[in-house]
Amino acid sequence: MLYALMQTFLSQVIEGDEWYTKVGRTVPVDDCEGWTIVLMERASRFIWALGCGKKERTLFSWAIQILRD
């Protein structure tokens, strides 16, 4: 509840980033199948969302939907 009340007085800045994972051997970034997308609040480093999958539109659409809700 305290966190919910603080949103009234403090602004939140959410950052989004994607990482690729090296599994077994190094491959070019475009060929990598393991991607992680993370949405994190900048000041507190609170993780809003963390999702894995192929680097496709559906992975990024999922992250944007999290922010919209």
Give the pLDDT of residue 10: 67
- CA atoms of 5 and 2, how far apart (whole Å): 5
User: Which is more confidently placed, 5 or 64?
Assistant: 64
CA distance 56 to 41: 23
Structure tokens, 67: 């922010």
pLDDT of 68:
79
Which structure tokens are listed for 31? 């060929």
Q: Which amino acid does the sequence have at 67?
A: L
Q: How confident is the model at residue 7 (pLDDT cuts 50, 70, 90)?
A: low
- pTM for this entry: 0.61
Where are the chain's structural domains? 12-68
Which carries the bigger pLDDT value, residue 35 or residue 10?
Answer: 35
First-to-final CA distance of the chain: 18
